[in-house]
Structure 1
Amino acid sequence: MSQIAQIYPLKRMPRSIGMFDYDVPEGMSLLRGSVVKIPFRNSVIVGIVGSINTTPSSPYKRKEILSKLQTFHLSNKELIFFEELAMNLAQSVSSLLYTSLPTIPKRENTGTIRKESGSNTLTVRSSESHALVEIIDNLQKRKKAFVLCPDLRRSAAVIAASLQEDPERVVNVITPTVHDAELLAQALAHLQPFVITGAERQSVRYQTWLAWRSQKKGVLIGTRICALLTHPHLNTVFLVRSSHPQHKQQDRNPRFDTRQTTQLLSKLFECKLFFLDVLPRVDDLSLFARADILHPFENPPTQVVSLTQERPTAPHPMIGYTTYQHMEKTLTSGKRVVCIYNKKGVSRRLRCQDCQESILCPSCHGSLVVYEQSIHCHRCGYAQVIPSSCPHCKGKNVLQKGFGNRSIAKVLQNFFPNKSLCIIDKEKTIPNLEADILLVTNFYLETHFSPFSPPALGLVVQLDADLALYEPSYRSIENTMLALEDCRGFARACQASVIFQTESPDLIESLLQHPYEAHLAEQEMRRLYHHPPFRRFIQISYRSDDLEKNLQKLKSLEQQIKKILPSVSFQIKNQENQLRLDIGVDFSEEKRILEIFAQLEDQYIIDTSVS
């Protein structure tokens, strides 16, 4: 009896399209996951066999498979992974396979393999060796864990020690940036890892992926694209800097989140899953039990400076007297200072200039973010017009005030005229990395700094530890904690002390000293106000140049969903003439809403994993 193969074409296809029927030529042996060449419309493309049957799934005339490729074969687990992920992302399986798998070159054996090699030994401080041994012993006993690592060097040490203890494994190490992947690959060169960052040519990516797949043990290091490059015998996944925003693909399909994708890998492949970062996210508490959160490394000397208390006698509103003294002492001793300040635009906070108090949300005591004529709390949803008087002292001197990094640089140069100073941000093309004082944004930490060859510093100052508190996000407390620990990790790598300047010293002290308890409190707030991880947030826009048509399409979709799922929340927002529909859905209803999305036209752009 003749066989019929249902095939996923490796091509961008509408989300409502599934598999296509093809006749299997006599004598050709195919399995689910086989790779074949098929005629498709007026061209020849590659496809993945989804199933083999003897009866057709549609009445249309069928074409015959042209040939079977021997290059690779997707296992059943791998294909289930892509099918489940496609459903979760509201994408067609064909589109997900097309964007995930490296393009098969027209000529075989073209392209080189990217594999790091070397004999360098990754060392750690003697004071850390005992803690590292204890961590590896814990990882051996666990299927999943979160390891608090202050920087990339300590993450590399954990990975290297883990593989030294158990080298017979297939391992996928995923980093958020190309810079991190390259640094990690060099540090772990003795493991001869394969490297895929997304910056290489397709032929190199394809050959490197095949080489890794062909081994029963081996390490792949790369960016988030590696979360979609499967291996049939995957044993362990390390997600490095797991809280980093670039683990989420925001701007193009598939709009996946590596944190969720690796959890799906862990479930289907029954592999170990280890997150490494300075702190977990609040969402991670539902994945990792308290005993699975491991904290092996000590923090550097840390001091919190209250700008509110010191401002009356401070040499400048953004530089406390204590900070000035420590900077002067450090520079006089011949050591260097790094000041971290991510402020470049307008201020997003209100402060009373009479009593120096910040204005907080009267409902949940969260931070209020300033917009043109109103203030909003992104935790509980409270909003009001900008007040004309202070709720604390009733004074009228309420200002939206802040300082840019250029004005701070002038102040620092006036304080220390005999010391060299350099601003390092995206606009500074050729920075002086050896200046006595570096005034930097996160751009420096992401692109210039290497924890494997850190600069010699005496002091690190976070000039405004409160900045993340005023982000327009329900994650503002979480992001503040991550920023604090990133700063401490940087200072630790440079063997420097660290100062945090803040107008909320009690809060910052609490976040630094009791992070787990702060996470639990924030988790309860998320539950109370229906934020993730207790609800799923989805964003939908419609691709059209006609704003009125966009609005009609989004309203029509809202009404369609409401008829089926009346408990789902909706809000249409307009940001710079870009309309989007924000949806909040309970996890008990996510399957039904994904089924609705699966039938929508592709002009709807759907992000099902809003972070």
Structure 2
Amino acid sequence: MPEGLVAEVYPVLRLPRRFFVFDYTIPQEMNLQRGQMVRIPFRDKTILGVVRSVGSKRGNPERLKSVLERVKEWIFDDVEMDFFEWLALETAQSVSAILHVAIPPLPKRIPSLSTNISEGKSLRVRASESEEISRALEKMRTYRECFIHAKDRVQMAAMVVAYAYMHPHDQLAIFVPNVWDATCLLPYLTFAGVTLLTGEESPSHRLAAIQSFRKKETRIFLATRAGSLLLPACVDAIFVLRSSHESYKQSDRNPRYDARETIRFFASHRACRLFFLDVMPRTEDMVTFGPDRLCISTHALPEMIELNREKNVSPHPRLSYTIFQKITDVLESGKRIFCVYNRKGKARALRCEDCKKEFPCPQCGGVFTVYETTIQCHHCGCIEPIPLSCPGCGGSHLIERGFGNRSLQEAFQKAFPGITVSLLEQNHLEDLEAHILLATNVYTESILNSFTPPTDIGCVILLDADLPLHESSAQSLEQAIRMIEELRGVAFRLRADFLMQTHVREFFQTYYQNPLSFFQKELMLRNTYRQPPICRPMRIMRRGGDVRQSRFELEHIREQLEGYHPIDVLFSFFHSRTTQACPILSFSVEQTYVPDLLVFLRTLPDHFIIDTNRNL
């Protein structure tokens, strides 16, 4: 390389967002280019770096340190470098911090990666599903990007496997929301050679997995969101299974990114095919793909039981007469029951009947959930014993309001004496072989394998389809319908009946009458009320420090934000299991103004935690 050149290098290190690049001289015998990985001296250590650019010397070259060596095994092309720089801007992080998360530490020796899994299996579906799978494949042939409806995870997998057989020379990337989905799907992809990356592997095995697919030693790259940061350039088609799942968004640590957005960036710049598959799309997918490429199948109306109509003859407010009779019939046939109820504890809240005092959490103001001997806040983790009397009036007439899964367990045991009722929730799993399984989402998310389902479950029941509607979110109705569709898919795979209970049947009918019209109206409503995807919600929180000082600093930021019009700003407080009350600055901005706002956010000190897309 000509003498007198300097490399701008991104250190692969978790650096504050204000840091950009560092200049290093290039030894005369070394050839470098944008994207080349190198070893550099940095603060008395030798670390990895990635070259941003190569140019002439500036300033005083004698004061610059020199690049130590090239890492020949790894070089990023222009699209990959553009991606890292785009993601840093999108998440208000430094490029170095993004590279630190994406690139695993390089071991002295990359281990060999076994891609042949002895437990490989053949995927079988019902004959009745062939038409829907064929229709999906036709859509994939017609459109380079689209959303595809599927009944359940098995049908999604069948569509991917069929595509792989029809395109035997294509390199495929398949994304799933969690490790359990990857574990269940893995044995059915081994026919093409598969590389697995979930983020739980050791750094050396993670590196080996990436290199194996880059060298085309395997055809399929199966990954969770962690794999979206290092998508190999050789990918021909990308499948995002269960594309509406919240786990695709990393919300608990930096960088706070959404894997669906990083995958979309990659697909658009590589011109590869992109397919989202799920039981139903998100309203955001109307903007992502357009209404013509939302391939939604016609939905039959599920069997809905209206709780209001049957309350006078029902044995329990959450156990309607129809459900009682259905459970009786199924149990008599020798089958088991799977019930879903996503509210923990004995009761929803505690209240004094004498003075009408509620019992909010003293730490965060959230609602206490009532258990047998304690009241617990599931938001901040606060636990207190159940009070014997009201601290306000001294009265002892305290009543429990609402129903948790433990009170429902008691109701089932009373209604069906001699029948075992098992409670299944996070960190509390009882008998998986009980006659009645009363579960939260944990059963379908981390226990039930839809590819090898139990054969003795005769009915799936959603005990309260209205629970998501109580969430203060623009997506609440959409989430409620998605829960119904996911459980319908579970029932379909189990060859079981599906029933749901609700107080507001008409809310759900709008979707089943015309799904596309439902999403078009939903998009119009969000436009009216400035909700995503029309506007982009963001959040700033100060890490540590005095609450008053934090509030003062956030107020100053608020004044600066008012220069980006139009913008809606809201103050609130955040509470966790490990921190005290912390002010939060939440705001929403129209997409047109987002680029300028992101540039401003990158100038803020690192003690501010910034989520630049908190509601995807």
Pair in the same fold by TM > 0.5? yes
Work out the CA distance in 1 between the residues paired with 2:589 and 2:436: 49
From 21, 24, 27, give the equivalent of 1:22: 24
Work out the CA distance in 2 between the residues paired with 1:241 and 1:348: 33
Cα drift, residue 115 of structure 1? 6.0
Cα drift, residue 2 of structure 1? 1.9
Which region of structure 1 is more displaced relative to structure 2, 210-219 or 439-448?
210-219
Secondary structure of the residue that 2:613 maps to in structure 1?
Answer: coil
Contact 2:146-2:275 within 8 A present in 1 as well: yes
Cα drift, residue 265 of structure 1? 1.1
Aligned to 2:251: 250
Aligned to 2:182: 181
Mapping 1:127-276, distance limit 5 Å: 127-215=128-216, 218-276=219-277
Work out the CA distance in 2 between the residues paired with 1:115 and 1:102: 23
Change (3 A) 1:371 1:309: farther
Deviations 1:297-328 (A, max 9, x none): 976x8310000010011111111111111111
The yes-or-no answer on 1:520 pairing with 2:526 is no
Cα drift, residue 111 of structure 1? 6.4
Deviations 1:201-247 (A, max 9, x none): 11110111111111186211111001111212222111111111111
Deviations 1:431-460 (A, max 9, x none): 322211111110111111111011222111
Work out the CA distance in 1 between the residues paired with 2:59 and 2:614: 35
Mapping 1:74-89, distance limit 5 Å: 74-89=76-91
Amino acid in structure 2 at the alignment position of 1:438: L
Cα drift, residue 167 of structure 1? 2.2
Secondary structure of the residue that 2:48 maps to in structure 1?
Answer: strand
Work out the percentage of aligned pairs sharing the same amino acid.
31
Aligned to 2:448: 449
Two-structure CA RMSD over aligned residues (Å): 2.3
Change (3 A) 1:262 1:155: same
Which region of structure 1 is more displaced relative to structure 2, 148-157 or 37-46?
148-157
Change (3 A) 1:156 1:439: same
Deviations 1:227-270 (A, max 9, x none): 11121222211111111111110110110011211111111111
Aligned to 1:71: 73
Work out the CA distance in 1 between the residues paired with 2:59 and 2:594: 28
Cα drift, residue 288 of structure 1? 2.0
Mapping 1:115-514, distance limit 5 Å: 116=117, 119-215=120-216, 218-295=219-296, 302-344=302-344, 347=348, 401-429=401-429, 431-456=430-455, 457-514=457-514
Which region of structure 1 is more displaced relative to structure 2, 240-249 or 168-177?
168-177
Aligned to 1:396: none
Contact 2:296-2:515 within 8 A present in 1 as well: no
Contact 1:111-1:203 within 8 A present in 2 as well: no
Contact 1:21-1:58 within 8 A present in 2 as well: no
From 78, 94, 97, give the equivalent of 2:96: 94
Work out the CA distance in 2 between the residues paired with 1:60 and 1:242: 53
Work out the CA distance in 2 between the residues paired with 1:438 and 1:60: 72
From 40, 43, 62, give the equivalent of 2:42: 40
The yes-or-no answer on 1:585 pairing with 2:584 is no
Secondary structure of the residue that 1:424 maps to in structure 2?
Answer: strand
Which runs of 5 or more structure 1 residues have no equivalent in the other structure? Answer: 351-369, 374-398
The yes-or-no answer on 1:603 pairing with 2:602 is no
Cα drift, residue 472 of structure 1? 2.3
Which runs of 5 or more structure 2 residues have no equivalent in the other structure? Answer: 352-364, 369-398, 576-580
Amino acid in structure 1 at the alignment position of 2:285: D
Contact 1:21-1:57 within 8 A present in 2 as well: no
Contact 1:348-1:371 within 8 A present in 2 as well: no
Cα drift, residue 66 of structure 1? 0.5
Change (3 A) 1:412 1:425: same
Amino acid in structure 1 at the alignment position of 2:191: H
Cα drift, residue 119 of structure 1? 4.7
Amino acid in structure 1 at the alignment position of 2:462: Q
Secondary structure of the residue that 2:434 maps to in structure 1?
Answer: coil
Deviations 1:274-300 (A, max 9, x none): 11111111111111233322246976x
Work out the CA distance in 2 between the residues paired with 1:176 and 1:543: 28
Change (3 A) 1:449 1:349: farther
Change (3 A) 1:262 1:509: same
Contact 2:25-2:61 within 8 A present in 1 as well: no
Work out the CA distance in 2 between the residues paired with 1:271 and 1:216: 20
Amino acid in structure 2 at the alignment position of 1:443: V
Aligned to 1:62: 64
Change (3 A) 1:3 1:216: farther
Amino acid in structure 2 at the alignment position of 1:225: A
Secondary structure of the residue that 1:211 maps to in structure 2?
Answer: helix
TM-score (normalizing by structure 2): 0.87
Q: How many residues align?
A: 563
Which region of structure 1 is more displaced relative to structure 2, 411-420 or 596-605?
411-420
Work out the CA distance in 1 between the residues paired with 2:481 and 2:509: 11
Cα drift, residue 155 of structure 1? 1.1
Secondary structure of the residue that 1:339 maps to in structure 2?
Answer: strand
Contact 1:118-1:190 within 8 A present in 2 as well: no
Contact 1:118-1:192 within 8 A present in 2 as well: no
Change (3 A) 1:113 1:537: farther
Contact 1:117-1:192 within 8 A present in 2 as well: no
Work out the CA distance in 1 between the residues paired with 2:239 and 2:466: 31
Work out the CA distance in 1 between the residues paired with 2:124 and 2:498: 24
Contact 1:197-1:225 within 8 A present in 2 as well: yes
Secondary structure of the residue that 1:233 maps to in structure 2?
Answer: coil
TM-score (normalizing by structure 1): 0.88
Deviations 1:512-550 (A, max 9, x none): 443332222221111110000000000111112311221
Cα drift, residue 131 of structure 1? 2.3
Amino acid in structure 1 at the alignment position of 2:310: E
Change (3 A) 1:55 1:451: same
Amino acid in structure 2 at the alignment position of 1:104: L
Change (3 A) 1:7 1:322: same
Change (3 A) 1:510 1:347: farther
Cα drift, residue 329 of structure 1? 1.0
Contact 1:81-1:268 within 8 A present in 2 as well: no
Amino acid in structure 1 at the alignment position of 2:8: Q
